[in-house]
C-alpha cells in the first residue's frame, strides 16, 4: 500500500493513506517528496509548489484556492485553502440606508 | 454483470413494486404524532409512524410540501395499508391523505382525536384498526421482481476521506449497474453538488436537464450567500474537516461519485416529487441527512444506499437504509450501524468492482426482506423539509 494516493494526474495534492511525519520522504509515482509538515491520515499533502491564489486540484477539478504559498510536501487544508463557493462572508457589507430591523438608524 | 438481477418484492395494485410491507400510521399534524406512534408501536415492526413537526401554522409552499410529502408516503409501494391520525382542526386534510392511499390501491382509515373523544379512545380505536390491517397485509406475498423496478436513493453522511475514495465510487458502480438493468437512481443534496455540477451536467441526456441542474445549484448557492456567511462550518461539517475534507468543492466531487460514472442525468425534480425517469434523477433536497432521505423516499425510492466515513445511524420509517463504510476503524467501532464494509478498497485488498458486486447482492437481499442494521436498531428518522417560518 502506498503512503499517499493521487487520484488524477492533473492533481497538485495527494491524500495521505496513513499518518505522515514531518521529514519523512515518500515516493509518489517516480518522484520522491519530503514532508514539510506532519499530515494526518485522510488529509492532503502538496505534490508541488502551489502559489497563493492558484487553484488546488483534486479529482482533476479545482477544490479551492491557495490563500498562501504552499511548499511541496506541506499539509494542505483549511489553514491554506479557501473555498470559492457559497461565500456569503465575502459579500460586500450592506450600505448605510439598507439598515435592517433592530439596527439603529444612521446618524445623519 | 448480473443481467438477470431480481428480488422478492411486493407487486402493488398500481403497478409499483415495494420492498417492505408496512402499515403506515400517519399523523396529519404534530398534535397527533404521539397517538400515531402509540398505534404503530402496537403492531411493530409491521407498523411504522411518520412523526413530524408540521401540518399546521404553515402557509403556501410549506403547507403544500408537508401535504405532498405525507401523501407520497401514503402512496409508497413499501406501504401495504394506511391509518391517518388526525386531530380535527389542523390544515393538513386527513381525507386527502387517505384518498391518495386508496387511489394507489391500499386500504386506508382515519382516526380523529377530537371525534373519538381524546387520546385514549383515539389510540384504542387506532390500535384496533391497525391490528386488522396488519393481519390483512400479512396475506400479501412476495414475488420475483426485476431490478428494473427499483428506484435506489444514493446518499452519503458523516463523510471523511474514505467516502470519496472507496464507498462513494463503489456505490457509483452499483448505480451504473442498476441503471444498466433498467432501474432508476436518485441523488439529492444540492449543496453537495456545488463544485461538482460540471461532472453531472456533462452527463446530462438533454440540454434541459443540464440547465435545470445548474439552475437549482445556483439557487442554493445564492441562498447560502444571502445569509452573509461562509458555508464552511456546515459544508463541510466540523467532522468532515477533521476527516480531511477542506472545502465544499472537495466534498462535492467525492460525493458525486455515488451517482455512478456512466449514468446519464435525465431529470431534476422537486423535494419528494415523483421520480418518473429511468436513469439518474437529481432531487432538490437540503444536505441534512434525514430531510434528504425523507424526500428521496417520498419521491419513490424503495431503498437507500448510504455511505459513511465517520459512521451515522440514520434510517427511514418505510425504506431500508443500507450503511456502507470505507473506513476500517468505523466498521469496527460502529459495527452495529454498518451493513457493508468496503474498507478493503482503501488498502487494495478488494477492487471497486468486487465491492460493487457485494453491494448489489446486499441491495437485492435487503430488497427481498433482509433487515438492515438501521431496521434492526429501530432507526426510523423522518423530517419534512421546510423553507419558511412557522406562522
Say whether residue B310 is in contact with chain A using an 8 A CB cutoff.
no
CATH of domain B22-137: 3.40.50
Report the residue of chain A nearest B222, measured CA to CA: A86
As a residue count, chain B comes to 391
Q: For chain B, which residues score pLDDT lower than 70?
A: 1-3
Closest CA to B301 of B77, B135, B69: B77
CA distance B185 to B178: 7
Say whether residue B222 is in contact with chain A using an 8 A CB cutoff.
no
Separation in Å, CA of B192 to nearest CA in chain A: 11
Residue B152: phi and psi, rounded to 5, are: -105, 125
Say whether residue A86 is in contact with chain B using an 8 A CB cutoff.
yes
Q: Convert the pLDDT of each residue in A64-85 to its tens digit.
A: 999 999 999 999 999 999 999 9
Say whether residue B352 is in contact with chain A using an 8 A CB cutoff.
no
Domain positions in chain A are 4-85
- Report the DSSP beta bridge partners of residue B110: B84
Q: Convert the pLDDT of each residue in B279-299 to its tens digit.
A: 999 999 998 999 999 999 999
**Residue for cell digits 460525493?**
B255
Interface test with B, best of A7, A12, A81, A86 (most B CBs within 10 A): A86
Q: Between chain A and chain B, how many beta carbons pairs sit less than 8 Å apart? A: 98
What pLDDT does residue A92 have? 54
> Where residue A30 falls among pLDDT bands split at 50, 70, 90?
confident
Phi-psi region of B311 (alpha: psi -120 to 50; beta: other; left: phi over 0): left
Domain positions in chain B are 22-137, 148-376
| Beta strand A44-46 pairing with A31-34 | unpaired
Chain A neighbours among B 125-184 (CB < 8 Å)? 160-162, 164-165
Query: Yes or no: is domain A4-85 CATH 2.40.50.1020?
Result: no
For chain B, give the mean pLDDT.
Answer: 95
CA distance B191 to B194: 5
* Cβ <8 Å between A64 and B191: no
Say whether residue B34 is in contact with chain A using an 8 A CB cutoff.
no
| Residue B45, preceding peptide bond in cis (omega within 30° of 0) | yes
All residues at 6 or more sequence positions from A45 whose CB lies less than 8 Å from its CB, including other chains:
A4, A13, A14, A16, A20, A33, A35, A39, A73, A74, A75, A76
| H or E element at residue B295 | helix B289-298
User: Which chain A residues have a beta carbon less than 8 Å from that of B350?
Assistant: none
As to burial, measured by CB atoms within 10 angstroms (0-12 exposed, 13-18 middle, 19+ buried), residue B194 is buried
Buried b (16+ CB within 10 A) or exposed e, B66-87: bbbbbbbbbbbbbbbbbbbbbb
Q: Specify whether the CB–CB gap between B220 and B194 falls below 8 A.
A: yes
What percent of chain A lies above the pLDDT cut of 90?
Answer: 73
Largest interatomic CA distance in chain B: 64
What pLDDT does residue B390 have? 79
Amino acid at each position: 500500500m502506498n503512503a499517499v494516493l493521487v487520484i488524477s494526474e492533473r492533481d497538485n495534492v495527494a491524500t495521505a493513506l496513513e499518518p505522515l511525519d514531518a521529514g519523512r520522504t515518500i515516493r509518489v509515482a517516480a518522484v520522491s517528496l519530503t514532508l514539510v509538515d506532519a499530515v494526518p491520515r485522510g488529509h492532503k499533502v502538496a505534490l508541488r509548489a502551489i502559489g497563493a491564489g492558484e487553484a488546488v486540484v483534486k479529482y482533476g477539478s479545482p477544490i479551492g484556492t491557495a490563500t498562501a504559498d504552499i511548499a511541496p510536501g506541506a499539509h494542505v487544508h483549511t489553514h491554506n485553502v479557501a473555498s470559492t463557493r457559497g461565500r456569503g462572508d465575502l459579500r460586500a457589507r450592506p450600505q448605510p440606508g439598507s439598515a435592517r430591523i433592530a439596527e439603529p438608524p444612521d446618524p445623519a | 454483470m448480473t443481467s438477470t438481477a431480481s428480488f422478492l418484492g411486493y407487486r402493488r395494485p398500481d403497478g409499483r413494486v415495494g420492498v417492505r410491507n408496512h402499515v403506515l400510521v400517519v399523523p396529519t399534524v404534530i398534535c397527533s404524532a404521539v397517538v400515531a406512534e402509540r398505534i404503530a408501536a402496537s403492531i411493530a415492526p409491521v407498523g411504522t409512524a411518520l412523526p413530524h413537526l408540521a401540518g399546521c401554522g404553515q402557509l403556501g409552499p410549506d403547507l403544500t410540501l408537508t401535504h405532498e410529502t405525507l401523501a407520497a408516503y401514503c402512496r409508497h409501494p413499501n406501504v401495504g395499508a394506511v391509518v391517518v391520525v388526525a386531530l380535527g382542526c389542523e390544515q393538513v386534510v386527513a381525507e386527502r391523505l387517505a384518498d391518495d392511499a386508496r387511489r394507489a390501491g391500499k386500504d386506508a382509515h382515519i382516526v380523529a382525536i377530537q371525534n373519538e373523544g381524546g387520546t385514549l379512545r383515539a389510540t384504542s380505536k387506532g390500535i384496533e384498526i391497525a391490528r386488522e390491517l396488519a393481519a390483512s397485509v400479512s396475506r400479501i406475498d412476495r414475488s420475483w421482481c426485476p431490478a428494473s423496478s427499483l428506484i435506489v436513493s444514493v446518499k452519503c453522511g458523516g463523510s471523511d476521506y474514505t467516502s470519496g475514495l472507496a464507498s462513494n465510487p463503489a456505490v457509483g458502480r452499483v448505480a451504473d449497474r442498476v441503471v444498466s438493468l433498467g432501474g432508476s437512481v436518485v441523488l439529492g443534496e444540492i449543496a453537495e453538488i456545488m463544485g461538482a455540477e460540471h461532472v453531472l451536467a456533462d452527463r446530462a441526456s438533454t440540454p434541459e436537464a443540464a440547465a435545470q441542474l445548474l439552475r437549482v445549484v445556483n439557487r442554493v448557492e445564492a441562498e447560502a450567500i444571502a445569509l452573509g456567511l461562509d458555508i464552511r462550518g456546515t459544508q463541510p461539517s466540523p467532522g468532515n474537516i477533521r476527516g480531511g475534507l477542506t472545502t465544499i468543492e472537495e466534498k462535492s466531487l467525492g460525493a458525486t461519485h455515488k451517482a455512478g460514472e456512466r449514468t446519464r442525468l435525465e431529470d431534476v425534480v422537486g423535494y419528494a416529487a415523483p421520480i418518473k425517469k429511468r436513469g439518474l434523477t437529481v432531487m432538490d433536497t437540503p444536505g441534512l441527512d434525514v430531510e434528504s432521505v425523507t424526500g428521496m423516499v417520498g419521491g419513490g425510492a424503495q431503498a437507500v444506499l448510504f455511505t459513511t466515513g465517520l459512521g451515522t445511524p440514520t434510517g427511514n420509517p418505510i425504506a431500508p437504509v443500507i450503511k456502507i463504510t470505507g473506513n476500517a476503524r468505523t466498521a469496527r467501532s460502529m459495527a452495529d450501524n454498518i451493513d457493508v464494509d468496503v474498507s478493503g478498497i482503501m488498502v487494495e485488498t478488494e477492487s471497486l468492482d468486487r465491492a460493487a458486486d457485494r453491494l448489489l447482492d446486499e441491495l437485492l437481499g435487503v430488497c427481498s426482506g433482509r433487515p438492515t442494521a438501521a431496521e434492526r436498531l429501530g432507526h426510523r428518522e423522518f423530517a419534512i423539509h421546510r423553507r419558511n417560518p412557522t406562522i
